[in-house]
Amino acid sequence: MDTYDIPVADLLLDVSNPRHDPVETQEEQIAALVKDDQIKSLATDIAMNGLSPIEKPIVMYDEGSEKYIVLEGNRRVCSLILLQNPMLAPASLRSAFNNMSKDKVPDSIECALAESREQARLWIERRHSGPSGGIGLKSWNAIQKTRASDAYEKPNDNSLALALFEYAKKHLNLDFSEKKANLTTATRYLGNNRFRSTLGIRSRRTNKLVKISCSHSEFESILFRFLTDLIENDQTKEFGVHSRTKKLDIENYANHLVSEGLAPTITERESPLEPRPKGIPKWNPSANYGSNTERNTTGINEDREVDTSSATVPASSDQDPTVSDSNKSDNRASNDSANKDFCGDSNNEQPYDKSYGDPSDLSDLDLSYTKNNRIPASSEIKEKLNILSDSKLSSLYKSICTISTNAHASILYAGVWMFFETLASQYGGYNKGLEGFLNQIINNSFDLDKEKKDLRAASYHIAQYVNSIKHSGKYYATNASQLAVDFKTIEPLTLTMLDKVISNKNNT
């Protein structure tokens, strides 16, 4: 077919257009296209950017009207007709077409001239019948669309997910073809603030430049788990990754990763995911994949499935239940008599009161204890609690800073929440909704946006874990290392609340 420049005024829309039921007049054809085929949006784009140089309408000469019937490209031609003559548009849209810029709207358009409908049929079918085994148009899948958006620096909701796919393919030996891993499902999870925080990701889902707030080795372990669950796509698992999940499912899955000890230790420092630091050994699933505790002790974890319906956490040991027997004696020896759990020595079964003392007496609270199996005690909080002299708050704080984050994680989360509920009730103005009440204090008491952001994130983390532990029939925490980080982060809020409670007491 030869091509010719034909004036828009000499073009007729096809009243037999397969896009809709046959009509009889040009007015009816315009109305049908405007109603169902997004003509206004296309016209806006043409007014802004001009016509696409890679697409040409196919037309056929009509002797009766001495004009050209548009066999292919009716939407584009309809848009041009209405841009040139807005009065032909439905009454409700005439003003919109009239206000569109006409600077890039051509008076004529290059068209391919067919001798008959039959000659044009082959190319129209190629254009509209899908891939057709490779001979038709093949649309980009989600991964390809995201690559194109990233190449042109155009924001895309899938950019973060694709960046993690590419990283895992390059460094973790995982295959991420569209058939094996659903990019949009990954984006649904990564769009959840709680889930991104659990992974240690600071970037938003539209950001292809990934920043993390944890070590690369810890991040790679939890990323490997998430992406292998994504590839597995098992909808029967209680804590699986698949397209039918809702917000609560995603956050329960995040909590499950925490309970397995896979959540990395979050730091205040941000670092780019790429380039991967040279000092990190090449990824090896059998050596690298496992909980933080396992990577630090055994270095190997070959079976990460946990049956949460029957699993129990030892109550009389200061050990993470996943630690191998060969390491138990070393860890046990490191806990000297001044720093035993409130449950006492697991070998001698020492009674609670002999090692713990008066529950509300903070004089024996060890401020120098820095091992990672406890929440560190704060000298400032201890000082203010001594001034306040409130038995309940002192007792709760002493327990929080004394019992093991490994052996008593669920109890610790509940204890921290009870501590803040008690503090809030003495603060004044607290009725219900502790997380919202804490956010209100944060907004009113702190000036720096970054400080507010960190405090809100920490209170949010604690609230989510506590809600899952309290309201789920199966979920529980097996490690509270993240709680230790969050409790330290939220310390400025704790001190602010204690100051107000002390002031309230002095004024009564």
Residue 69: per-residue pLDDT: 96
Share of the chain above pLDDT 70, in %: 83
> What is the mean predicted confidence (pLDDT) over 148-160?
88
Q: Helices 26-36 & 74-84, crossing angle to 10 degrees?
A: 110
219: confidence class by pLDDT, cuts 50, 70, 90: very high
For the residues 363-376, what does the mean pLDDT come to?
77
Per-residue pLDDT, averaged over 455-481, amounts to: 78
336 or 123: whose pLDDT is higher?
A: 123
Specify the amino acid at residue 507. Answer: N
Lowest mean pLDDT among 43-52, 89-98, 328-337, 384-393: 328-337
Least confident of 56-65, 132-141, 313-322, 456-465: 313-322
Say how far apart CA 167 and CA 173 lie, in whole Å.
9
pLDDT at 370 over 70: no
Packing angle of the helix pair 142-151, 183-190 (nearest 10 deg): 60
Residue 419 has pLDDT above 90, yes or no: yes
Mean pLDDT of 66-78: 96
Q: How confident is the model at residue 349, as a pLDDT?
A: 32
Poorest-pLDDT segment among 44-53, 397-406, 437-446, 453-462: 453-462
- The residue ranking higher by pLDDT, 133 or 371, is 133
Please give the pLDDT value at position 135.
Answer: 84
Report the alpha-carbon distance of residue 497 to residue 502 in Å, rounded: 9
Kindly report which listed range (234-248, 327-341, 378-392, 468-482) carries the lowest average pLDDT score. Answer: 327-341
Q: What is the mean pLDDT of the chain?
A: 81
Res. 273: pLDDT tops 80: yes
Can you give the pLDDT at residue 347? 38
Out of 9-13, 340-344, 449-453, 483-487, least confident range? 340-344
For residue 344, what are the CA distances in angstroms to 305, 349, 402, 480?
31, 6, 11, 19
Higher pLDDT among residues 498 and 153, named by residue:
498
Evaluate if residue 325 carries a pLDDT over 50: no
Q: Cα 35 vs. chain centroid, distance in angstroms?
A: 37
Report the alpha-carbon angle 117-120-125, nearest 5: 110
Q: Where are the domains of the chain?
A: 2-134, 142-297, 325-506
- The pLDDT score that the predictor gives to residue 410 is 87
Residue 195 has pLDDT above 70, yes or no: yes
pLDDT number for residue 298: 31
**pLDDT band at residue 210 under the 50/70/90 scheme:** very high
The answer to whether the beta carbons of residues 354 and 342 sit under 8 Å apart is no
Token pair, residue 473, equals 């029939």
Q: When comparing pLDDT for 413 and 137, which is higher?
A: 413
The residues, ordered by sequence, that sit 6+ positions from 178 with a Cβ below 8 Å of its Cβ are: 141, 142, 143
pLDDT at 488 over 70: yes
Confidence bin at 291 (pLDDT 50/70/90):
very low
- Do the bridges between strand 67-72 and strand 11-13 make them parallel or antiparallel, or are there none, so unpaired? parallel
* % of residues, the chain, pLDDT over 90: 44
What pLDDT shows up at residue 93? 93
- Max avg pLDDT among 27-41, 132-146, 421-435, 455-469: 27-41
Q: State mean pLDDT over 52-73.
A: 94
pLDDT of residue 322: 34
pLDDT reported for residue 47: 94
Whether the pLDDT of residue 43 is over 60: the answer is: yes
Helix axes 491-506, 481-489, angle to 10 degrees: 50
